[in-house]
Homo-oligomer: A and B are copies of this chain.
Amino acid sequence: MAAPRFDVLGIGNAIFDILAHVDDDFVVNEKLAKGSMRLVDADEIARLYGDLGQVVRISGGSAGNTVAGVASLTGKAAFIGKVAGDEFGEAYRHDMRGVGVAFDTSALKDGAPTASCLVLVTPDGERTMSTFLGACQALTPDDVDPAMVADAEVTFLEGYLWDPEQAKEAFRKAADIAHQNGRKVALSLSDTFCVDRFRAEFLDLIKTGTVDIVFANEHELRALYETADFDTAVAALRQDAKLAAVTMGAEGSLTVTREETHHVRAASVERIVDLTGAGDLYAGGFLFGLARGFALPECATIGGLAAGEVIQHLGARPEVKLVDLVRQNGFEI
Contact = CB atoms under 8 A, between A and B. Distances in A.
Interface of A: 21, 49-50, 52-59, 68, 72, 86-88, 91, 94-95, 98-100, 313-315, 317-320
Given A50-B94, A52-B94, A54-B99, 17 more contacts: A21-B320, A49-B94, A50-B98, A52-B98, A53-B98, A53-B100, A54-B59, A54-B95, A54-B319, A55-B95, A55-B98, A56-B56, A56-B315, A57-B57, A57-B58, A313-B313, A314-B314
Nearest to A94: B49
B317 A54 contact: yes
Contact of A318 (B54, B57, B59, B91): B54
A314 B313 contact: yes
Contacts of A53: 95, 98-100
Contact of A57 (B68, B91, B98, B319): B91
A57 B54 contact: no
A49 B87 CA distance: 14
B59 A58 contact: no
Contacts of A317: 54
Given A21-B320, A49-B94, A313-B314, A56 B54 contact: no
Nearest to A91: B57
23 contacts: A49-B94, A50-B94, A52-B94, A52-B98, A53-B98, A54-B68, A54-B72, A54-B99, A54-B317, A54-B318, A55-B94, A55-B95, A55-B98, A56-B57, A56-B58, A56-B314, A57-B57, A57-B58, A86-B87, A87-B88, A313-B313, A313-B314, A314-B314
Integer count of this chain's copies in the complex: 2
A21 B319 contact: yes
A315 B57 CA distance: 11
A192 to B, nearest CB: 28
A24 to B, nearest CB: 14
Nearest to A320: B21
A318 B53 CA distance: 10
Contacts of A95: 53-55
A174 B18 CA distance: 34
Contact of A98 (B54, B315, B319): B54
Which residue, A50, A58, A88, has most C-beta atoms of chain B within 10 A? A58
Nearest to A86: B87
A95 B20 CA distance: 11
A93 B55 CA distance: 12
A224 B262 CA distance: 64
A313 B58 CA distance: 14
A228 to B, nearest CB: 36
Contacts of A55: 94-95, 98
A189 to B, nearest CB: 26
A330 to B, nearest CB: 22
Contacts of A98: 50, 52-55
